[in-house]
Amino acid sequence: MKILLTAIAVMSIGAFVFAKQAPSQQPGTKRTELQRHDLDIPGKETIQARIDFDPGAAFGMHTHPGEEIIYVLDGTLEYEVEGKKPVQLKAGDVLFIPTGVKHAARNVGKVKGAELATYVVEKGKPLVVLAK
């Protein structure tokens, strides 16, 4: 009985973690959280993540509950930001996404691409909200 309860608890935790992280992953992409810290500003936190893109992979339109600061690490990534023309960025280029602005990214190169994303967001809200 104890083993069964432990197995159910582990499966429940796994399902919760998957449900919480599922929108952060898209086929051909991998989001790796590097650090997360509360800020001195009440209700705000910063999250830093590396997002890897296979060649041709895309992360569809989405928003964040705060600002995103992007630094392209590898490859050539194209960003579509609501209200602006698409822009292609290469390693060393940067981009700022304001709170709640819809945006998407895709690897337009033939090699893997990667970005370092730093988020300053509302604590406790989902980091990624897929656009409808």
| Location of structure tokens 């392209």 | 72
Measured between alpha carbons, how far is 1 from 6 in angstroms, rounded to an integer? 9
Structural domain total, the chain: 1
* Residues 74-112 pLDDT 10s: 999 999 999 999 999 999 999 999 999 999 999 999 999
Answer yes or no: is 81 within a domain. Answer: yes
**Could you tell me the pTM of the whole model?**
0.80
Answer yes or no: is 106 within a domain. Answer: yes
In the chain the first and final C-alpha atoms are separated, in Å, by 44
Tell me if 52 sits within 8 A of 105, measured CB to CB. no
Measured between alpha carbons, how far is 98 from 81 in angstroms, rounded to an integer? 10
CATH number, domain with residue 110: 2.60.120.10
Answer yes or no: is 11 within a domain. Answer: no
Q: Is the dihedral of CA 14, 16, 17, 18 positive or negative?
A: positive
Answer yes or no: is 87 within a domain. Answer: yes
